[in-house]
Structure 1
Amino acid sequence: MTPLTIDRLVVQNDRVICEVTLAPTAPRLTTPALAARITHAFPNLPRHACVNDEGDTFGAVITHTTLPHVLEHLVIDLQTRADPHPDAVYVGTTEWLDEFARRARVEVSFTDDLVALRAFRDAAHFLNEAVVRYAS
């Protein structure tokens, strides 16, 4: 089972737009245990700035947020790790295109389109592995 599938990637001048689908058997939301597995590999994620109803950081919602939202923050984190400029700022958004069909759109800014595309690939791979290991 592949919990999250990237259906489409579109590179625009200032962002990459990614459409994803969650498998019918995949969890829609993270849990504290899954969040712990994710933050073990990506310890900066909880400190990411994040607009949400519970706080100013991603850490306020990481234990109960959607998998596409986690993908957004993983992509940002991977781009930050790869960027030689420590002051680079990345922003992203996540929204359901069709929540019933489990389809979402994730948009993330970039400074290098190839790094951003690699970040989406690697983030999706990591997230899928984390979800599969968590479920077993």
Structure 2
Amino acid sequence: MEVIRASRICVRPRRIEANIDVAAGFRTTTPELAARICARFPNLVHHACVNDEGPTFGAVIDHTPLPHLLEHLVIDLQVVAEKSGTLSQSFTYVGTTQWLDEQRGLARVEVNFTDDLVALRAFKDALCAINEAVVL
């Protein structure tokens, strides 16, 4: 079962906008899910993040909306691609997440990119990582 999926992805100039569906009962992360994700993506906790609890994503990773986790995973995967030589330039990645209808589990995630194909792959891999890490 997929607990999170992209129902629409639109590539715009310099950013990707995705509508994200989240299954009922899985709207936010848990400490257990955060631990599983951090074991695979240890740099997530160091991401800069605008939130009410601290200057990094680590301050909220264990109780944040799943689409927000997706945003940071997409960014992290693009940074990894850049460092591995897939992308040729240093770049500051940014994103935003907002609920369109939290009750229905519909959110929008926007992330910028330098290479649209790398960003699309990052979305695919991030969605898979979350779905694999969720224990039903």
Tell me the TM-score range normalised by the shorter chain.
Answer: over 0.9
> CA separation in 1, counterparts of 2:90 and 2:78?
12
Q: Which runs of at least 4 in structure 1 moved beyond 4 Å after TM superposition?
A: none
Shift of 1:87: 3.0
Corresponding position of 2:99: 96
Compute the TM-score of the two structures, normalised by the length of structure 2: 0.93
CA deviations over 1:97-131 (Å, ceiling 9, x no partner): 11111100000000000000000001001101101
Partner amino acid for 2:58?
G
Q: What's the counterpart of residue 9 of structure 1?
A: 9
Return the offset for 1:23: 1.5
Q: Distance in 2 between matches of 1:11 and 1:3?
A: 23
Aligned to 2:121: 118
Say yes or no: does 1:87 pair with 2:90: yes
Aligned-residue sequence identity (percent) comes to 59
Q: Paired residues, what number? A: 132
Q: Which amino acid aligns with 1:89?
A: T
What TM-score does the superposition give when structure 1 sets the normalisation length? 0.93
- Structure 1 residue ranges without an equivalent (≥5): none
Residues 3-50 of structure 1: CA distance to partner in whole angstroms, max 9, x if unpaired? Answer: 0011000001020001010122x4111111110000000000000000
SS at match of 2:42: coil
Root mean square deviation of aligned Cα: 1.1
2:39 corresponds in structure 1 to 40
Q: Which amino acid aligns with 1:120?
A: F
Name the structure 1 match of 2:21. 21
Counterpart Cα distance in 2 of 1:22 and 1:58: 20
Which aligned pairs between 1:70-85 and structure 2 lie closer than 5 A? 70-83=69-82, 84=85, 85=88
C-alpha separation in 2, matches of 1:87 and 1:115 = 14
* Structure 2 partner of 1:106: 109
Task: Kindly provide the amino acid, as one letter, of the partner of residue 105 in structure 1.
Answer: R
Q: Show the counterpart of 2:63.
A: 64
SS in 2 for 1:44: helix
